[in-house]
């Protein structure tokens, strides 16, 4: 590997490997599809008032997820705060 390649730092959550980047993208898109299906199903239920976004039990909490967890109205479309977001959504 060249010196320039060794010194390259892509940043947090981004990999040098094309395979790891593809897996990250796949995980994120599958979660978006799953959450979108939940939202579409719940929107048709008259007793649903809104959603509560809960942070995962990961021992290393994400600052973004920690700041944005909480209750949101029914019309809010939550599909994750960032790539590989592990937050969950429940009804209230």
**If DSSP codes are grouped into helix, strand and coil, which group holds residue 5?**
helix
> By the 8 A CB rule, do 24 and 84 touch?
yes
pLDDT tens by residue, 31-88:
999 999 999 999 999 999 999 999 999 888 889 999 999 999 999 999 999 999 999 9
What would the two tokens of residue 53 be? Answer: 């976004």
Please give the angle made by the CA atoms of 63, 69 and 72, to the nearest 5 degrees. 145
Question: What is d(CA 46, CA 44) in angstroms, rounded to the nearest whole number?
Answer: 6
**If DSSP codes are grouped into helix, strand and coil, which group holds residue 67?**
helix
């Amino acid at each position: 590997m060249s010196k320039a390649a060794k010194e390259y730092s892509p940043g947090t959550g981004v990999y040098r490997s094309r395979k790891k980047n593809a897996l990250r993208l796949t995980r994120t898109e599958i979660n978006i599809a799953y959450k979108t299906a939940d939202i579409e199903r719940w929107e048709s239920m008259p007793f649903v008032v809104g959603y509560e976004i809960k942070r995962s039990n990961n021992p290393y909490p994400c600052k973004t997820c920690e700041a944005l967890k909480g209750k949101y109205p029914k019309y809010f479309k939550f599909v994750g705060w960032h790539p590989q977001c592990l937050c969950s959504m429940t009804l209230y």
